[in-house]
Amino acid sequence: MDIFEIDGPTRLSGSVEVAGSKNSALPIIAAALLAPGVSNIPNAPDLADIRSMQMLLESLGARVHRDKAGLHVDATTVDNPVGDYDLVRKMRASICILGPLLARCGRVKISMPGGCSIGDRPVDIHLRGVKALGAKIHLENGYIVAEAPAGGLTGAEIFLGGPFGSTVLGTDNVMMAAVLAKGTTVIESAACEPEVADLANCLNAMGAKIQGIGSPRLVIEGVKRLKPVVYPVIGDRIEAGTFIAAAAMTQSRLKIKNCDLNHMMAVTDRFRHIGVQVESNGHGCEAALDGPIEPADITTQPYPGFPTDLQAQFMALLALARGNSVVTEKIFPDRFMHVAELNRMAANLRKEGPSVIVAGVEKLIAAPVMASDLRASAALVLAGMAAEGKTVVQRVYHIDRGYYRIEEKLNKVGAKIRRVSV
Ligand code: EPU
């Protein structure tokens, strides 16, 4: 198991490149199941989660390989529509094979995903959506079994809102099931995240007919078949936001390549409020902070609101603000595993229900800490770069799920992070 040893405090400078979006690539790899033949995602990031998705697709009968030209998915044969427990429990995004397999094979059996360290993550809305298209669903020994009627799925009007607003992978699943259904599907309260729009654009490039992309109302006219595609995904807005936070926490200036600030308006708004200069420069952005970190209140919301996937990283930044901030989590109210770890580094954070009161401190102090989930571990790396002394982050496999060699990228711009196998 690897750990990170991080020497701080650090100053960063130079330019760092953001990879293709993990949360775009995962459902787009699943979408390749919809079309016999070979699809290619040229910039699919080489991450642990992408490798888990690759293994899952291989278990279904597809052939997947990576080379310099990208990640190639040969979905000519998909003959085992079963998402096995051992593969699905590793990564909840595995649920996004539900829609494509139902559309392609007429039947799917997939292990019911359990909770995870960021809280309960039910899939009731996914199931409600595919049921509306005509699928029959039952549970069998911890597995969801979904079956399309003999004549296939049929378009329907579907409201996909839930207690926490829209659902990203739920929208993806219903959209992927609907593209091959007979007739027209209207999804109301669809998720508007750029990654959902990316999937919709990819499906249209495969021959689907989806309108309203990026809006909460998607209109999908079913087609008979789709064709394989070569589709590069958008830059990862969460990785980009993490690098901007890195520049801010270390009082530095960074150029961040391959990110689109149009996907990050709520995030740039909060960065600017804090005092960070963030400007687009054509192919990415430049971020700098030279001066105090101002406090800011943050509430996570579905897009275009502030993303839950940057909540932990912002909390690390606000821990050093000159004043008090309130961070409220409205997507995953239990996603606060990083609070206790940041407090071990001399932050002053107090959890009150779904909020955390962040009383800014003058400095963070290095400590041994434990990564608990992907974004929480990114927050600990940021804190480690700003803290005085040597921070040791255990269980960095969490960060490898969603950041491609983050230590190498940050070391190139001046960080001092060592990966050590223990
Ligand atoms: N929800 C339900 N029922 C459902 C589905 C969702 O109640 O059937 C609730 C969830 O419990 C949550 C809210 O709806 O409270 C939103 O969850 P959503 O379904 O949108 O999350 P997801 O699709 O499972 C994706 C990302 C997450 C990201 C969330 C929210 C991928 C692979 N995962 O998950 O990314 O936090 O959307 O934006 O796209 C990460 O990358 O670190 C990560 C966790």
Ligand 1 centre distance from Cα of residue 308 (Å): 9
- Do 134 and 197 fall into the same domain? yes
Once rounded to an integer, what is the mean pLDDT over residues 234-263?
98
Show the DSSP H helices in 140-278 as ranges.
Answer: 168-178, 194-205, 237-249, 265-274
CA distances from 53 to 28, 30, 81 (A): 11, 8, 14
User: Is pLDDT at 116 greater than 80 in this prediction?
Assistant: no
228 belongs to a structural domain: no
Q: What is the pTM of this model?
A: 0.98
Output the DSSP codes for 330-380. SSSTT--HHHHHHHHTT-EEEEETTEEEEE--S--B--EEE--SHHHHHHH
Ligand 1 centre distance from Cα of residue 106 (Å): 25
Domain that holds residue 301: 2-18+235-421
Q: What is the pLDDT of residues 277-286, one digit of tens each?
A: 999 998 899 9
- Do 163 and 89 fall into the same domain? yes
- Do 321 and 197 fall into the same domain? no
Q: What is the pLDDT of residues 409-420, one digit of tens each?
A: 999 999 999 999
* Alpha-carbon span 400 to 258, nearest angstrom: 20
336 belongs to a structural domain: yes
Q: Is the CB of 45 under 6 A from ligand 1?
A: no
CATH of the domain at 70: 3.65.10.10
392 belongs to a structural domain: yes
**N- to C-terminal Cα distance for the chain?**
6
Mutate to test the pocket of ligand 1, among 22, 23, 313 (most ligand atoms within 8 A of CB): 23
Look-up of token digits 């699905």:
88
Tokens of 272: 């600017």
Ligand 1 centre distance from Cα of residue 215 (Å): 18
What is the model's pLDDT at position 119? 73
Q: Is the CB of 123 under 6 A from ligand 1?
A: yes
- Do 176 and 286 fall into the same domain? no
- Do 193 and 75 fall into the same domain? yes
Q: Is the CB of 9 under 6 A from ligand 1?
A: no
Confidence of residue 114 (pLDDT cuts 50, 70, 90): low
Q: What is the pLDDT of residues 161-220, one digit of tens each?
A: 999 999 999 999 999 999 999 999 999 999 999 999 999 999 999 999 999 999 999 999
183 belongs to a structural domain: yes
Residue 393: strand, helix, or coil: strand
What is the model's pLDDT at position 113? 82
- Do 81 and 35 fall into the same domain? yes
- Do 198 and 60 fall into the same domain? yes
User: Is pLDDT at 118 greater than 90 in this prediction?
Assistant: no
What is the model's pLDDT at position 98? 97
Q: How high does pLDDT run on average in the chain?
A: 96
* Alpha-carbon span 381 to 379, nearest angstrom: 5
* Alpha-carbon span 93 to 108, nearest angstrom: 16
What is the model's pLDDT at position 385? 98
* Alpha-carbon span 330 to 23, nearest angstrom: 19
* Alpha-carbon span 220 to 209, nearest angstrom: 6
Q: Is the CB of 162 under 6 A from ligand 1?
A: yes
Q: Domain count of the chain? A: 2
227 belongs to a structural domain: no
Q: What is the pLDDT of residues 54-103, one digit of tens each?
A: 999 999 999 999 999 999 999 999 999 999 999 998 888 999 999 999 99
Q: Is the CB of 332 under 6 A from ligand 1?
A: yes
Instruction: List, by residue number, the catalytic residues.
Output: 116
Mutate to test the pocket of ligand 1, among 121, 193, 337 (most ligand atoms within 8 A of CB): 121
Ligand 1 centre distance from Cα of residue 167 (Å): 6
39 belongs to a structural domain: yes
Mark which of 190, 221, 252 sits at the end of a domain: 221
User: Is pLDDT at 250 greater than 70 in this prediction?
Assistant: yes
Ligand 1 centre distance from Cα of residue 349 (Å): 25
- Do 141 and 75 fall into the same domain? yes
Ligand 1 centre distance from Cα of residue 144 (Å): 18
Query: Residue 287: enclosing H or E segment and its boundaries?
Result: strand 284-288
User: Is pLDDT at 115 greater than 70 in this prediction?
Assistant: no
Q: Is the CB of 199 under 6 A from ligand 1?
A: no
- Do 181 and 250 fall into the same domain? no
Cβ distance 309 to 93 under 8 Å?
Answer: no
Mutate to test the pocket of ligand 1, among 53, 128, 169 (most ligand atoms within 8 A of CB): 169
Phi/psi at 383 (nearest 5 deg)? -60, -40
